[in-house]
Amino acid sequence: MDKTNPSSVRAWLLALQQRITGAVAELDGTPFVTDAWQKEPDEVLQGNGITLILEAGKVFERAGCGFSQVRGPSLPPSATQHRPELAGAPFEAMGVSLVFHPRNPYVPTVHMNVRMLAATPAAGSGEAVCWFGGGMDLTPYYGFSEDVVHFHQACKDALTPFGSDKYPRFKQWCDEYFYLGHRQEPRGIGGIFFDDFQELGLARSFAMVQSVADSFLAAYLPIVDLRKNTPYGEREREFQLYRRGRYVEFNLVWDRGTHFGLQSGGRTESILMSMPPLASWAYRRQSEPGSPEERLHKEFLIRRDWV
């Protein structure tokens, strides 16, 4: 059986969503709420999805993990900037995307996404073109080298079977993508990111995507276990909310996934589940010299090799 046909990919994505949220719910002690949705027949974009959301948990203030499968008559600009020949092409997209915002400031926020997109050139001028995208990245509020090394090593281990070039390429891509151009600073300490990927052939490319997704729990949960009971006070909480503001800025201003969802007429509530429940902004905030907050900026929010 072809493991890359839409029904097989859908089944794997749904199982991935359940596996990840099951592990997180067990860690937190709070269940996810299930919100299944369907686009109305008269809407331009057709499809359905399942949003699983955990809010006000013991460990996670907000954790969202969504599956979606949608079809539309025309690819939006965010999806064709590197494929101009597909401008206006009918498309189908499916994927799982998650963002977990922890309660404790010493636990980093994490993002992971895996997706497949297929498009048929306009006017039936060719066969359907299929490609994959995805990755995961970490956004700490307080930096710990051992946490960052662990996360990057997990990313590297997931990609090494598919070529020694993949981790360095995708790490650099992540560093360049998750960057707030208007602030001239990275969103976090990176990870891996890839898009428009099909160079290994359909089956092998999908296997790579599966390897990345299957490594997520081992990459993130040990960090959560290590930091979730670290004592913190008002100072750490204030800094966490301030840094969350940067996360919001990236998602709304720069993120292609957010733009694709909104431009294609996707479900707004599910698209914006990545937002933290609380965030704050301060005018020209400066960290104290020598403080852990300054250390985050100087030692972690920079591009460097971690493994």
Q: What angle do CA 237, 238, 243 make, to 5 degrees?
A: 95
Extract the tokens encoding 106: 């010493």
pLDDT tens digits, one per residue of 85-140? 666 678 889 999 999 999 999 999 999 999 998 887 765 556 778 889 999 999 99
Which is nearest to 136 in space by CA: 162, 113, 104, 152? 113
Q: Are 43 and 265 in contact (CB under 8 A)?
A: yes
Q: Mean pLDDT throughout 180-184? A: 93
Which is nearest to 220 in space by CA: 53, 27, 17, 18? 27
Q: Are 75 and 89 in contact (CB under 8 A)?
A: yes
Q: What angle do CA 59, 241, 135 make, to 5 degrees?
A: 65
Rounded CA separation 92/57 (Å): 34
Rounded CA separation 267/177 (Å): 24
For the chain, the first-to-last Cα distance in angstroms comes to: 38
Rounded CA separation 137/210 (Å): 16
Name the catalytic one among 82, 101, 111, 152: 111
- In the CATH hierarchy, which fold is given to the domain comprising 6-300? oxygen-dependent coproporphyrinogen oxidase (3.40.1500)
Is residue 101 annotated as part of the catalytic site, yes or no?
no
Rounded CA separation 12/94 (Å): 11
pLDDT tens digits, one per residue of 133-174? 999 999 999 999 999 999 999 999 999 999 999 999 999 999
Domain boundaries, the chain: 6-300
Extract the tokens encoding 242: 């301030």
Question: Cα dihedral angle (232, 248, 194, 177), rounded to 10 degrees?
Answer: -100
Q: Mean pLDDT throughout 243-260? A: 91
Q: What is the DSSP string of the chain?
A: --TTSHHHHHHHHHHHHHHHHHHHHHHHT-PPEEEEEE--TTSSSEEEEEEEEEES-SSEEEEEEEEEEEEESS--HHHHTT-GGGTT--EEEEEEEEEEEESSTTSPEEEEEEEEEEE--GGG-S--EEEEEEEEEEE-SS--HHHHHHHHHHHHHHHGGG-TTHHHHHHHHHHHHSEETTTTEESSSEEEEEEEE-TT-HHHHHHHHHHHHHTHHHHHHHHHHHHTT----HHHHHHHHHHHHHHHHHHHHT-HHHHHHHHTT--HHHHGGGS-S-----TT--PPTTSHHHHIIIIISS-----
Is the pTM for the entire model greater than 0.85? yes
Distance of CA 162 to the CA centre of its chain: 21
Q: Which of 21-35, 66-80, 172-186 is the least confident region?
A: 66-80
Average pLDDT, the chain: 91
pLDDT at 268: 84
Rounded CA separation 21/53 (Å): 9
pLDDT at 1: 41
pLDDT at 306: 97
